[in-house]
Amino acid sequence: MRILVIGSGAREHAIVKSLKREGGHTLYASPGNAGIAEDAEIVQLDVQNGREITRFAQEQDIALVIVGPEAPLIAGAVNDPRERGIAVFGPSRDAAQLEGSKTFAKEIMSEAGVPTGGAVRASSIQEVIEAMGEFGAPYVIKADGLAAGKGVLVTEDSQEAQAHAMHWLERGAVLVEEFLEGREVSLFFISDGDDLISLSPAQDYKRLQDADAGPNTGGMGAYSPVPWIAEAFGSEAEFIAQVKAQVAQPVINVMNERGTPFVGLLYCGLIVNGTTIKVIEFNARFGDPETQVILPRLKTPLSELLFAAATGTLGTKPPAEFSDSSAVTVVLASGGYPTENSEPVPLGGLGNLQGVDVIHAATAKQDGTLYSAGGRVLNLVATADSLEVAREVIYSQIDEVDFPGVQYRSDIAELS
């Protein structure tokens, strides 16, 4: 199949690698990164512009377009190609509002009867303070729109909560939310607008430092499967069935009834307490770094699932199959991440790693030298018979990577 993948991060590199493992495809990526360039042909497109995606897809006879990141989805990049009959995986502008506006997501959840925490939308600091009084500490303050992972603050400190709210109020509304107690897990569903196919759950690590210290980030590591989920629910399948019935299917149905069917990946960010499931957030695309540990375990060809979703034929497909293996990824981030812009530094030693897949998140090549080109730079991924072995494979070799100023967590997939 001739496939175009839009995006430039580790998620897109993982998607491209997964497609490449299937064999027989011609892969294009835009804008890509230095790692993706090893596995696909890079093309320069204005990826926010649906017309340009359509033009390229028509000229190059592309059978499937996969849009990875939220920004082009929320900008409506899939609308034009879809209207012109191109098979494209990713929600339309309106459907991507599930991620683009936290208020919209709460509205849909309320309409669909999906379990989630209480939330108040506030447009002034008085409203924020009132809502904080209502919910009590810890305080959860969120920017309503996209904020590149920086919009959410969870804190016991009321002054800090108010300062965060003031900062984001200058740019729009904020949400004050009830704090949800429990363990976090990510579960993804591929949707063709009507039918759903679930993937295997993954655990993400959002905080920068070990033991969940430090600021929220885009994600510093992940593992899949999630043993404590199978324990809590008796089996992974039982958990997935409950999330599908309580969360994913009702949301897909409401989006359909509203005339804005959701075609793409519904990312359910969940808090689990005992066997109670509540939604913290939806995203409208594959999670990063969760995708990097889910796809290596996926036995069903990814291209078949995404093509079926893009062409409305998911209902004819059997469930996705996963191997019994375990996968772990550790994110290597630049020195100043996530608060400061990171200067490029040269990267080395990657060739010394054995049994580790190196996924590029933000890299560029100049005169044959690989450089960092952003905050989250590389993901090391290992797949093994157990999480313990997979994490050992990574951590026993991580010092081989030459990356001045690198930050990484040393407790990814440490379950005891």
Interface with ligand AMP by CB under 6 A: which residues? 117, 140, 142, 152, 154, 177-180, 184, 206, 216, 269, 280-281
Whole-angstrom distance, CA of residue 309 vs CA of residue 173: 34
Q: Least separation, in Å, of the C-beta of 324 and ligand AMP?
A: 28
Question: Considering only residues 219, 261, 301, 375, which one is a binding residue for ligand GLY as defined by CB under 6 A?
Answer: 219
Query: Residues 175-214: x/- map of binding to ligand GLY (CB under 6 A)?
Result: -----------------------------x----------
Q: Least separation, in Å, of the C-beta of 216 and ligand AMP?
A: 5
Collapse the DSSP code of 113 into the 3-class scheme (helix H, G, I; strand E, B; otherwise coil) and give the result: coil
The nearer residue to ligand AMP, 99 or 192, going by C-beta atoms, is 99
Q: Which tokens is 68 given?
A: 């990875």
Please check whether residue 69 is in contact with residue 96, taking contact to mean a CB–CB distance below 8 angstroms: no
Whole-angstrom distance, CA of residue 295 vs CA of residue 148: 24
Encoded amino acid at 304, one letter: E
Q: How many residues does the chain have?
A: 416
Whole-angstrom distance, CA of residue 47 vs CA of residue 55: 12
Q: Least separation, in Å, of the C-beta of 152 and ligand GLY?
A: 11
Could you identify the residue written with the tokens 């034009």? 80
Residues sharing a CB contact under 8 Å with residue 161, sequence separation 6 or more, in sequence order: 128, 132, 139, 141, 153, 155
Q: Is 151 in the site for ligand GLY (CB under 6 A)?
A: no
Question: Which does residue 219 bind out of ligand AMP, ligand GLY, none, counting CB within 5 to 8 angstroms by kind?
Answer: ligand GLY
Q: Least separation, in Å, of the C-beta of 301 and ligand AMP?
A: 30
* Helix and strand totals (H; E) in the chain: 15, 22
Question: Considering only residues 12, 19, 288, 379, which one is a binding residue for ligand GLY as defined by CB under 6 A?
Answer: 288
Q: What are phi and psi of 338, to 5 degrees?
A: -100, 5
CA distances from 191 to 101, 120, 150, 293 (A): 20, 29, 28, 20
Could you identify the residue written with the tokens 């379950």? 415
Q: Least separation, in Å, of the C-beta of 24 and ligand GLY?
A: 29
Question: Which does residue 192 bind out of ligand AMP, ligand GLY, none, counting CB within 5 to 8 angstroms by kind?
Answer: none
Question: Which does residue 287 bind out of ligand AMP, ligand GLY, none, counting CB within 5 to 8 angstroms by kind?
Answer: ligand GLY
Q: Least separation, in Å, of the C-beta of 312 and ligand AMP?
A: 29
The nearer residue to ligand AMP, 82 or 206, going by C-beta atoms, is 206
Residues sharing a CB contact under 8 Å with residue 342, sequence separation 6 or more, in sequence order: 334, 335, 336, 372, 374, 375
Q: Is 99 in the site for ligand GLY (CB under 6 A)?
A: no
Site residues for ligand GLY, 18-77, by CB under 6 A, read none
Q: Least separation, in Å, of the C-beta of 146 and ligand GLY?
A: 11
The nearer residue to ligand GLY, 260 or 283, going by C-beta atoms, is 283
The nearer residue to ligand AMP, 117 or 214, going by C-beta atoms, is 117
Please check whether residue 381 is in contact with residue 224, taking contact to mean a CB–CB distance below 8 angstroms: no
Burial class (CB in 10 A: 0-12, 13-18, 19+), 84: middle
Q: Least separation, in Å, of the C-beta of 72 and ligand AMP?
A: 19
Please check whether residue 131 is in contact with residue 176, taking contact to mean a CB–CB distance below 8 angstroms: yes
Q: Is 287 in the site for ligand GLY (CB under 6 A)?
A: yes
CA distances from 218 to 10, 69, 222, 225 (A): 11, 12, 11, 20
Site residues for ligand GLY, 265-284, by CB under 6 A, read 283
The nearer residue to ligand GLY, 90 or 287, going by C-beta atoms, is 287
Q: Is 100 in the site for ligand GLY (CB under 6 A)?
A: no
Binding residues for ligand GLY, per CB under 6 A? 204, 219, 283, 287-288, 290
